[in-house]
Amino acid sequence: MNETYAQIRQWLESHESFVLLSHVRPDGDAIGSQLALGFALEAAGKKVRFINEDGLPENLAFMAGSERIETPPDEAVVADVVIALDTATRQRLGEKALAAVAGCGKWINIDHHKSNPGYGDLNWIDSGSPATGQILYQMIRAFGLPLPAESRDAIYVAVSTDTGSFQYAGTTAETYEMAADLVRCGLEVGKINALIYDNHPMRRVELMRALLNTLEVRGKGQVATWLLSQQTMQALGVRPEDSEGLIDIIRAIQGVIVAVFFEELPDGKIRVSMRSKDLRFDACKVCAMFGGGGHSLAAGIRMAGPMAEARERVLSAVEEELAASAG
């Protein structure tokens, strides 16, 4: 692994142009990781493009430099190295993004999902890290790269959003030490937290109300679930990013061990988000049964519908795994 780390450093130093990618329906860690590494590389004199299949979510548009995030162009992207960030499988980068960089020969894959198979030429997968943003902070410091304000703030957004504002079990001493270093470097904690957590559109509140109307607690009170249909999304004018983090509301119910959020996608597939509060219940293991993956306490699936059938299949598997883990 030390050899791989040295190779990544050598590639970053010896090549001049990079294209940074992250997963479809990007969250704070995905966009934050792109901006963090990208602006550090630019400050070191490199050329960088930031591409995401779905573009920049509205809720992350406050981030300095986020206007640089572009959707995949029709023409081929020319770059020495492609860097995939916070993306567990190559397919999660999106068809258009993959097509745009098809002519680029060298790939680096940096991630923290334990289900990542290592699809890059060079892979740095640290499943013990709470966020890809923290991995990049460590790399930027270890490699002696600059830390411009855009990178500093993006690292904080990446890590804060992926740790539930430093609340989740994966948060480490290194996470808090990193945050302290970012504050010493000029990070305005109160200002950026307000932009992350206290700046939601009214439609998100309306979405929460609609979701609560579908709430069901089952499995002897250990499983909380709700669902979002396309009909509801269209009626409320909801954007994909509006549901980000809402699963934590039902995860927090006393006695609940597993929270599951089912969302109907425009193509008829079902997006499943799963959160666990107990390491004895491995959300990644259950999601892998349906072709998904992620972390032990947070994982997801994209599967065939219809909603009722997908929901029953997944919840049955959840309840079976809960029973097995309790035994």
CATH number (domain holding residue 67)? 3.90.1640.10
Q: Indicate the number of domains in the chain.
A: 2
pLDDT reported for residue 1: 61
Is residue 148 within 8 Å of residue 166, measured between CB atoms?
A: no
Long-range contacts of 10-17 (CB under 8 A, 24+ apart): 11/81, 11/106, 11/108, 11/122, 12/41, 12/46, 12/81, 12/143, 12/145, 13/143, 15/46, 15/80, 15/81, 15/106, 16/46, 16/47, 16/80, 17/46, 17/47, 17/48, 17/78, 17/79, 17/80, 17/81
In the chain, at which residue ranges do the beta strands (DSSP E only) sit? 17-22, 47-52, 69-70, 81-85, 106-111, 122-125, 216-218, 223-228, 258-264, 270-276, 293-294, 298-303
pLDDT reported for residue 7: 97
Give this prediction's pTM: 0.90
The reply to whether 270 and 314 lie within a common domain is yes
Whole-number Cα distances in Å, 41 to 12, 104, 255: 8, 18, 46
pLDDT reported for residue 315: 97
Cis peptide bond N-terminal to 306, omega within 30: yes
Q: Which residue has the higher pLDDT, 124 or 325?
A: 124
The reply to whether 165 and 223 lie within a common domain is no
pLDDT reported for residue 62: 97
Phi then psi for residue 304, to 5 deg, are -70, 150
pLDDT tens, position by position, 191-204:
999 999 999 999 99
What residues make up the domain containing 102? Answer: 2-197
The reply to whether 219 and 191 lie within a common domain is no
Domain boundary among 197, 216, 246: 197
Query: Residues 129-158: what's their mean pLDDT?
Result: 98
Buried b (16+ CB within 10 A) or exposed e, 162-183: bbbeeebebbeeebeebbeebe
Is residue 213 within 8 Å of residue 178, measured between CB atoms?
A: no
Query: Residues 240-251: what's their mean pLDDT?
Result: 93
Please name which of 165, 235, 241, 229 lies closest in space to residue 201, comparing C-alpha atoms: 241
Is residue 290 within 8 Å of residue 313, measured between CB atoms?
A: yes
Q: Show the tokens assigned to 103.
A: 């002519």
Q: How confident is the model at residue 147 (pLDDT cuts 50, 70, 90)?
A: very high
Paired with 303 in beta bridges are: 270
Percentage of the chain exceeding pLDDT 90: 94
The reply to whether 168 and 309 lie within a common domain is no
Q: How confident is the model at residue 326 (pLDDT cuts 50, 70, 90)?
A: confident
Is residue 264 within 8 Å of residue 275, measured between CB atoms?
A: no
The reply to whether 115 and 231 lie within a common domain is no
* CATH code, domain with 314: 3.10.310.30
pLDDT tens, position by position, 158-185:
999 999 999 888 899 999 999 999 999 9
Taking the CB of residue 25, how many other CB atoms lie within 10 A of it?
A: 19
pLDDT reported for residue 175: 97
pLDDT tens, position by position, 82-140:
999 999 999 999 999 999 999 999 999 999 999 999 999 999 999 999 999 999 999 99
Q: Which of 13-22, 36-45, 160-169 has the lowest mean pLDDT?
A: 160-169
Q: How confident is the model at residue 325 (pLDDT cuts 50, 70, 90)?
A: confident
Contacts of 145 (CB under 8 A, 6+ apart): 12, 40, 41, 43, 44, 139
Q: Is the pLDDT of residue 60 over 80?
A: yes
Q: Is the pLDDT of residue 149 over 80?
A: yes
Please name which of 47, 44, 53 lies closest in space to residue 80, comparing C-alpha atoms: 47
Q: What is the largest CA-CA distance in the chain?
A: 58
The reply to whether 31 and 164 lie within a common domain is yes
Query: Residues 60-84: what's their mean pLDDT?
Result: 97
The reply to whether 182 and 244 lie within a common domain is no
Domain boundary among 154, 173, 197: 197
pLDDT reported for residue 327: 65
The reply to whether 211 and 193 lie within a common domain is no
Q: How confident is the model at residue 40 (pLDDT cuts 50, 70, 90)?
A: very high
The reply to whether 178 and 155 lie within a common domain is yes
Domain boundary among 134, 165, 197: 197
The reply to whether 53 and 113 lie within a common domain is yes
Is residue 97 within 8 Å of residue 107, measured between CB atoms?
A: no
Is residue 47 within 8 Å of residue 119, measured between CB atoms?
A: no
How large is the C-alpha radius of gyration of the chain? 20
The reply to whether 224 and 295 lie within a common domain is yes
Please state the separation of Cα 227 from the chain's center in Å: 20
The reply to whether 145 and 164 lie within a common domain is yes
